[in-house]
């Protein structure tokens, strides 16, 4: 009898595991800042009074045939490995359409305008989990030409480098730049994908890494040092939030980077890859916002926090919970 129960349990577990695959990460190739700016594909962005020089991807894609060739080659290889790439050009168009709507949304908030750079906006709109940051250069040595090639994979959630491959190709006096570029892509993709596979393995074992910031608005009645009681124990709100992270992270993996009365930053938070949809009960892939909603619900329902809490995504891997921010 015991054996039957055990067998059924194992079968059910197996079915639940295989029936719901994890949310497949989306990947997008983006030319590096250095590549764009050094070729004058750049734009200026005013970030709260400070002028910043940023890459202009649209200009790069419209003017650089070498770049298009390399991206196209990479797209083919990645699609073959089960990861069709997000098209940067299409995402830029989508972003343009969204920009007007977003401006309206920000103006209706409580004045906590999010300083979101065009890159952050692009990442958020494209929702690419992994950015393949690419740069290359055709160099000459006497009559010969060769390619230097750098490919870095960044986790858009954490900005951490998760895979890379770089090097210089063999010089050739016969091959055209197109052939050399194609060769450079072929020469480096296997190494890059091997490292990417290690990253996926780590993600399945230890969860996806994100950052959650809890901020307190001036209008809020409480701050993070306000005392609350949960399960018969009284503690500061920041301590209780810490307890929530202990309960809800994979293997209790997270780090309290900053903790003051008005700001709590939890980084290197390993959130589970899956969650249960609160309405349907279906097991689905979890993103940072889903994870933050759970914390908000817990603060409102379990702790009884009176202040409203606003959830503000900043990029893909970071969410701000603003207490008193609605």
Binding site for another protein (CB under 8 A): 21-25, 80-83, 165-167, 169-170, 183, 186-188, 190-194, 196-197, 200, 204
Looking only at the bridges linking them, the beta strands covering 50-55 and 130-141 are: unpaired
CB 275, CB 269: distance < 8 Å: no
Q: Which is nearer to another protein, 118 or 285 (CB)?
A: 285
CB of 161 to another protein, least distance (A): 16
The owner of tokens 């050009």 is 89
Q: Which is nearer to another protein, 15 or 197 (CB)?
A: 197
- CA distances in angstroms from 173 to 141, 207, 272, listed in the order given: 9, 48, 52
Q: Which is nearer to another protein, 36 or 180 (CB)?
A: 180
CB 267, CB 245: distance < 8 Å: no
Looking only at the bridges linking them, the beta strands covering 318-323 and 309-313 are: antiparallel
Q: Which is nearer to another protein, 23 or 256 (CB)?
A: 23
CB of 184 to another protein, least distance (A): 8
Q: Which is nearer to another protein, 22 or 243 (CB)?
A: 22
What contacts 154, CB < 8 A, 6 or more positions away?
A: 130, 131, 133, 160, 161, 162
- CA distances in angstroms from 24 to 107, 127, 248, 287, listed in the order given: 34, 12, 22, 12
CB of 163 to another protein, least distance (A): 11
What contacts 33, CB < 8 A, 6 or more positions away?
A: 54, 55
Region label for 7, one of left (φ > 0), alpha (ψ between -120 and 50) or beta (otherwise): alpha
CB of 212 to another protein, least distance (A): 24
CB 71, CB 29: distance < 8 Å: yes
Q: Which is nearer to another protein, 175 or 309 (CB)?
A: 175
What contacts 141, CB < 8 A, 6 or more positions away?
A: 171
CB of 179 to another protein, least distance (A): 10
CB of 182 to another protein, least distance (A): 9
CB of 74 to another protein, least distance (A): 12
Q: Which is nearer to another protein, 170 or 276 (CB)?
A: 170
3-state secondary structure of 151: strand
CB of 81 to another protein, least distance (A): 4
CB 242, CB 256: distance < 8 Å: yes
Looking from the CA of 189 toward its CB, the CA atoms found within 13 Å total 19
CB of 289 to another protein, least distance (A): 20
Q: Which is nearer to another protein, 145 or 217 (CB)?
A: 145
Q: Which is nearer to another protein, 83 or 228 (CB)?
A: 83
Nearest Cα residue to 52 out of 147, 107, 117, 141: 117
């Amino acid at each position: 009898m015991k054996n039957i129960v055990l067998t059924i349990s194992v079968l059910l577990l197996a079915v639940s595991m295989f029936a719901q695959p994890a949310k497949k990460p989306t990947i997008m190739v983006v030319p590096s800042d250095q590549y764009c700016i050094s070729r004058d594909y750049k734009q200026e962005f005013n970030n709260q009074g400070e002028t910043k020089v940023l890459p202009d991807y649209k200009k790069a894609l419209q003017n650089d045939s070498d770049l298009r060739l390399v991206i196209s080659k990479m797209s083919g290889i990645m699609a073959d490995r089960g990861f069709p790439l997000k098209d940067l050009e299409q995402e830029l168009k989508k972003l343009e359409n969204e920009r007007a709507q977003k401006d309206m949304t920000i103006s209706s908030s409580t004045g906590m305008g999010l300083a979101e750079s065009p890159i952050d906006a692009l990442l958020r709109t494209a929702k690419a989990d992994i950015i393949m940051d690419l740069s290359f250069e055709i160099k000459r040595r006497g009559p010969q030409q060769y390619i230097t090639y750098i490919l870095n994979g960044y986790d858009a959630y954490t900005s951490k480098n998760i895979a890379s491959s770089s090097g210089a190709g063999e010089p050739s006096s016969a091959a055209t730049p197109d052939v050399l570029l194609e060769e450079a892509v072929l020469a480096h993709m296997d190494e890059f994908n091997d490292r990417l596979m290690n990253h996926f393995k780590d993600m399945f074992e230890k969860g996806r890494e994100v950052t959650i910031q809890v901020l307190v608005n001036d209008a809020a009645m409480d701050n993070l040092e306000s005392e609350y009681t949960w399960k018969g124990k009284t503690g500061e709100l920041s301590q209780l939030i810490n307890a929530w992270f202990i309960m809800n992270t994979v293997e209790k993996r997270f780090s309290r980077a900053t903790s003051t009365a008005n700001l709590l930053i939890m980084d290197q938070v390993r959130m589970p890859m899956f969650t249960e949809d609160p309405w349907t009960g279906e097991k689905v892939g979890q993103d940072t916002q889903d994870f933050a909603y759970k914390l908000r619900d817990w603060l409102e329902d379990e702790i009884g926090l009176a202040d409203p809490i606003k959830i503000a995504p900043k990029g893909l891997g970071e969410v701000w919970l603003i207490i008193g921010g609605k």
